[in-house]
Amino acid sequence: MKVHFILYVSDQKHSAAFYSTVLGKDPILDVPGMTEFSIGEQTILGLMPSEGIIRLLGRIGDPSSMPDVLRGEIYLVVDDPAAFHERSLLAGAQELSPLAPRDWGELVAYSLDADGYILAFASPTKPEM
């Protein structure tokens, strides 16, 4: 199974540049209406302009109708969460919580992108068995 996570964004070009910086890679697809990044062997992160989902679903799919609502969280377990978090901040994300040990056994930093998506960058505090 291949999984695609699609984020509805207000400015596709801005979001594509942001995620390219944060992820440290170029998109595998970048056409009007969709930008995609491979974030795992079977996982794709897609960026769709809000107008695209409105065309598909009508006003029910309008993210701008609730601008102050958090959209969701992207939780990425990575080798160097500090570097990913720093890149997100340099690219314009807002820091929500610096890198710190969490109760569930991971080091995690949290930031917020321009469209209201929380980005979490994590690594285990103990080696996996």
Residue-level pLDDT, tens digit, the chain, 129 residues: 899 999 999 999 999 999 999 999 999 999 999 999 999 999 999 999 988 877 877 766 666 666 676 778 999 999 999 999 999 999 999 999 999 999 999 999 999 999 989 999 999 987 655
Closest C-alpha among 86, 75, 83 to residue 122: 75
Position 1 scores a pLDDT of 87
Residue 109's CATH number: 3.10.180.10
Residue 43 lies in a domain: yes
List the domain range (segments joined by +) for residue 99.
3-124
Number of domains in the chain: 1
Beta strands in the chain (DSSP E): 3-9, 29-31, 34-40, 43-49, 72-77, 94-101, 106-112, 117-124
Residue 129 within a domain: no
- pLDDT, position 63: 67
70 in a domain, yes or no? yes
